[in-house]
Amino acid sequence: MYPAALTVLYDENCNLCRRSAHWLTLQPAYVPIEVLAAGSPAAMRRFGRIRELGDELVVVADDGRVWWGAPDGFLMCLWALRRWRPWAMRLSRRGLSGLAAALFKRVSTHRAAIGAILGPPKCEDCLHTIDA
Amino acid sequence: MDTTAALLTVYVIYGVAAVSLVVWLARTLFRNGEVFLADVFDDRPEMAHAVNRLLVIGFYMLNLGYALLLLPGERPEDSVAASELLIRKLGILLLSLGVIHFVNMYVFWKIRQRRQIDAAPPPVLHRAVLADPDSGA
C-alpha cells in the first residue's frame, strides 16, 4: 500500500524539530508532505486523538495510517524523500535497524538539547510555513 | 609474400571471429535483456522493448567499432608470429567484450533498482489507523 500524502507532526518547541520540518518541506519528495506543529489548533483538531502527539514525531498518511516515535516516524520521513528513500530502506533492514533505532531514539530524546545548541531556524519566511 | 599471406589469414580469421562473437553476444543480451526489462517495466512493455533495442544497438556499434579498431597492427614475420598476433588480438577483444558486458549488466541492475525504490512501500509497519483520516487542511 502506497500512501498518496503524508502529514508530519513535529514538536514546535524544539529548534531541531522546526529546522528539520523546514528542511523536509524543501526536499524533492515522492508524495506531498504537509508539516504541522503538533501543538497547533489544526493539529489538535485533526489528530488530537493520537496520544503521542507532541511527545513523539508523528506521521499520518492520507489513508489514516499512523506511525510515531523512533525510528518509525523518522524512517517514514526519509521514505517520503527521493534522495533519502534508499537510506530509509537500508536502515529498516535487519542489521542496520538496531543501529538506526538507537540513533533516532537518541536524537529524539535529546532534541531539546541539540536544538538549544543549533538555535532557531535562521530563515525569515520559513517560520510561518512551518508554524502555520 | 609469405608475410602478407599470413597477415591476410590473421585478418580473415579475426574478422570472422570478432563479428560472430559480437553478434552472438548481442543476441544473447537481447534475448535475456528482454526478460529482465519486461520485469522492470512491467506496466509498459513497449518501453521495455524500446530500451532493449537501443541498448543492443549501442552494444553492436561499440563492440564492432572497437573490434575493427583493434585490427591493424604490426606485421608478423612468420606463421607462428601471425598466430600469436591473432590470439592476442582475440584475447584483447574478449576481455573488452567482457568488461562492456558487465557494464551493461550494471546498467540493467541500476534501472531495476531505481524502479524498485520508486515503488517501494513504507519500510515500517504503521502503529495505528485513524478511522476517519482528515487530511484536508
Provide ipTM, 2 decimals.
0.74
pLDDT at B9 exceeding the cut of 50: yes
Closest CA to A56 of A77, A42, A34: A77
Mean of per-residue pLDDT scores for chain B:
82
The residue count for chain A: 132
A7 confidence band (pLDDT: 50, 70, 90): very high
Closest approach of A128 to chain B, Cα-based (Å): 15
pLDDT at B126 exceeding the cut of 80: yes
More confident position, B40 or B24: B24
On whether any CB of chain B is under 8 Å from the CB of A26, the answer is no
pLDDT at B26 exceeding the cut of 70: yes
User: What mean pLDDT comes out for the span A13-30?
Assistant: 89
Say what the pLDDT of residue B97 is: 84
pLDDT at A122 exceeding the cut of 80: no
Take residue A122 and report the three cell numbers written for it.
Answer: 535562521
pTM equals: 0.69
Q: Which helix (H) or strand (E) holds A29?
A: none
Q: Name, in order, each residue with C-beta under 8 angstroms of B114's C-beta and a sequence gap of 6 or more.
A: none
pLDDT at B135 exceeding the cut of 50: no
Rounded-to-integer distance, Cα B39 and Cα B36, Å: 5
pLDDT at B125 exceeding the cut of 60: yes
Take residue A121 and report the three cell numbers written for it.
Answer: 531556524
Say what the pLDDT of residue A130 is: 58
Q: Which residues of B touch A72 (CB under 8 A)?
A: 124, 127
B126 and A79: CB-CB below 8 Å?
no
Say what the pLDDT of residue B51 is: 86
A92 and B124: CB-CB below 8 Å?
yes
Q: Which residues of B touch A42 (CB under 8 A)?
A: 137
pLDDT at B4 exceeding the cut of 80: no
User: What mean pLDDT comes out for the span A84-113?
Assistant: 87
User: What mean pLDDT comes out for the span B60-70?
Assistant: 85
Say what the pLDDT of residue A100 is: 86
User: What mean pLDDT comes out for the span A35-47?
Assistant: 88
